[in-house]
Amino acid sequence: MNKIHQYTTICAPITAQYAAIKGIYECEEDIVKMRETYNQRRKFIVNGFREIGFDCFEPKGAFYIFPPIKKTGMTSQEFCKKLLKEEKVAVVPGNAFGPSGEGYIRVSYAYSIDKIAKALERIKHFAEKIL
């Protein structure tokens, strides 16, 4: 069992490697479309957090933002638990990424604009209660 695990996780399976090669050479249009979609989502969520009152740095990679929540007076763990319980929005506490992440939350924008908008509405409602 250990050998099977090693052979399947030591590197990307050959099928994934072939798919990556095909993507690099034959899917430029799809890549451009995907990049534009993520760019729209990134701008939308960053602006949404700024409108709520959380100054937010616009990231250049991945599909996460890391807004500061220090002004709430809560730890990142407290903020995330309370947001989940009260508004049913899941975000990741910044301290999960080390001590310097305390006072921040990580939020994914790998969702549709509609879902991001709903989450932002709930986060705004939550922020209005605690700020």
Q: What is the pLDDT of residues 74-124, one digit of tens each?
A: 999 999 999 999 999 999 999 999 999 999 999 999 999 999 999 999 999
The confidence band for 9, taking pLDDT boundaries of 50, 70 and 90, is low
Domain count, the chain: 1
Confidence grade of residue 12 (pLDDT, cut at 50, 70, 90): confident
Q: Read off the CATH number of the domain in which 52 is found.
A: 3.90.1150.10
First and final CA of the chain: distance in angstroms?
Answer: 53
The pLDDT-based confidence of 11 (bands split at 50, 70, 90) is: confident
- The residues near 27 (Cβ < 8 Å, ≥ 6 apart) are none
User: Which run of H or of E encompasses 65?
Assistant: strand 64-65
Domain that holds residue 36: 2-130
Q: How far apart are CA 105 and CA 125, in angstroms?
A: 17
Strand order in the sheet with 92-93: 64-65, 105-108, 92-93
Report pLDDT for 23: 85
Res 13: pLDDT: 80
Predicted confidence (pLDDT) per residue in 30-87, tens digit: 989 999 999 999 999 999 999 999 999 999 988 999 999 999 999 999 999 999 999 9
